[in-house]
Amino acid sequence: MHELAEAVVLSRSGLARLVDRLEKARYVTRAPCPEDRRGQDAVLTRSEKPP
């Protein structure tokens, strides 16, 4: 998520809060980063918000 934070010009903590909200709304999920066990990837779920 570090790369994403740089791309959207947010701090890593700011991005984490944003991803928390997106995850709560079920727009994204977090998945372990395959290259680095310490990191996580934000993975888009579907294009519509589920009921």
Query: How far apart, in whole angstroms, are the C-alpha atoms of residue 14 and residue 45?
Result: 21
pLDDT at 48: 64
How far is residue 17 CA from its own chain's centroid?
Answer: 9
Rounded average pLDDT per 10-residue block, the chain, 51 residues: 79 89 92 88 77 56
**Residue 21: per-residue pLDDT:** 94
**pLDDT score recorded for residue 47:** 66
Q: Where on the phi/psi map is residue 26: left (φ > 0), alpha (ψ -120 to 50), or beta?
A: left
